[in-house]
Amino acid sequence: MKYGTMKAASEEIGVSQPMISRLLGTLEGKLGFALFEKKRNQLKPTPEAHLYHASVMRLISQVRETTQDAAAIANNQLGNIVVASQPTFVDTFLLDAIRSFHETHPDVGIRVLDVGMRELLRTLDKKYCDVALGITLEAGNYSAQVRKLARCEARCIMHRDHPLAKQDKISQDMLHNEDFIDLMPDSPLRKRVDEVIQTESKDRRTVVEMGTMRGACALVDRGVGVAIVDPFAELLLAGTSVVSKRLVPRIEWDLVFLTPDGVPVSQVSESMFTEIQLQVARLKGMGILEE
């Protein structure tokens, strides 16, 4: 179709004219229709040939795209990733990790599952996500491969005008008779706080239960009470009247990166791990996380 004669075509691809003729005859036999009409020394494509040529060109284009996609996947530049995370991470450092990841992997689709700890464990077990961010506080055994990222230490937050705001550290005794803004009872941190602060005591009052760390911080900013939160909450306090204090005794746990058990970790997932590691290193430098 490009050269118009068998002679020109044979010279271009380096085979004899009889070979070109046999190849055309074989192809036409398989297709069931004629590709060319012979007029003098010229080959004129039939209407069917034009249709078939367009189909072949589309196929060639698809093969090229598939080859390019394979190269992109090999170079970590194509695909999708599902990240499961607790809300407090989504509200804070995970956003920066996702931004950096997107800048270097613009063609990779990202889906974030904002879930509580119980649902996060189920998501890992069912392999509904590629990677997850979780904690070791009351988590039990993960059905996952676990990589430690950092050590976390709970904080006690209060309004800057609160009497306890003058203290360097907050002990359990100091919290007697205080109004508490607590996370929901199924929160791992809430369960640990209940153990340490002894919720059975009549002198500790839970005035509000909140489903998110952001909501708890907002109520503390309004002077409703004090709250015990994870260290990432300090990233939510800019521009507020809330101060953060260390607790005695310490309430600690590990921040971990998780991938489903029995599933090979993709290069895309490893790249997300790298971006999260960079953000965790930044938070360690700020004193929010520990080794």
Task: Report the percentage of the chain scoring pLDDT > 90.
Answer: 44
Residue 270 has pLDDT above 60, yes or no: yes
Residue 200 has pLDDT above 80, yes or no: no
Instruction: State mean pLDDT over 83-105.
Output: 93
* Paired residues of 108 in beta bridges: 79
Superfamily of the domain at 79-152+253-285: Periplasmic binding protein-like II (3.40.190.10)
Task: Report the percentage of the chain scoring pLDDT > 70.
Answer: 90
Structure confidence at residue 260 as a pLDDT band (50, 70, 90): very high
Do the domains 79-152+253-285 and 155-250 sit in the same CATH topology, yes or no? Answer: yes
What pLDDT is attached to residue 289? 94
Q: Which range (55-69, 171-185, 206-220, 228-242) has the least confidence? A: 55-69
List the domain boundaries for the chain: 6-74, 79-152+253-285, 155-250
The CATH code belonging to domain 155-250 is 3.40.190.10
Instruction: State mean pLDDT over 146-168.
Output: 95
Helix axes 93-104, 267-285, angle to 10 degrees: 130
Q: What is the DSSP letter of 136?
A: -
Q: For 95-126, how does the pLDDT look when each residue is reduced to its tens digit (9 = 90+)?
A: 999 999 999 998 888 999 998 888 888 899 88
What pLDDT is attached to residue 168? 94
Residue 52 has pLDDT above 90, yes or no: no
Instruction: State mean pLDDT over 235-248.
Output: 94
Residue 208 has pLDDT above 50, yes or no: yes
The CATH code belonging to domain 6-74 is 1.10.10.10
User: Contact, 159 vs 225, CB < 8 A?
Assistant: no
Structure confidence at residue 1 as a pLDDT band (50, 70, 90): low
Phi, psi of 287 (to 5 degrees): 85, 10
Q: Please, what is the average pLDDT of the chain?
A: 85
What pLDDT is attached to residue 16? 83
SS3 151: strand
What pLDDT is attached to residue 222? 97
Write the DSSP assignment of 4-56 as a string of letters: SSHHHHHHHHT--HHHHHHHHHHHHHHHTS--EEEETTEEEEPHHHHHHHHHH
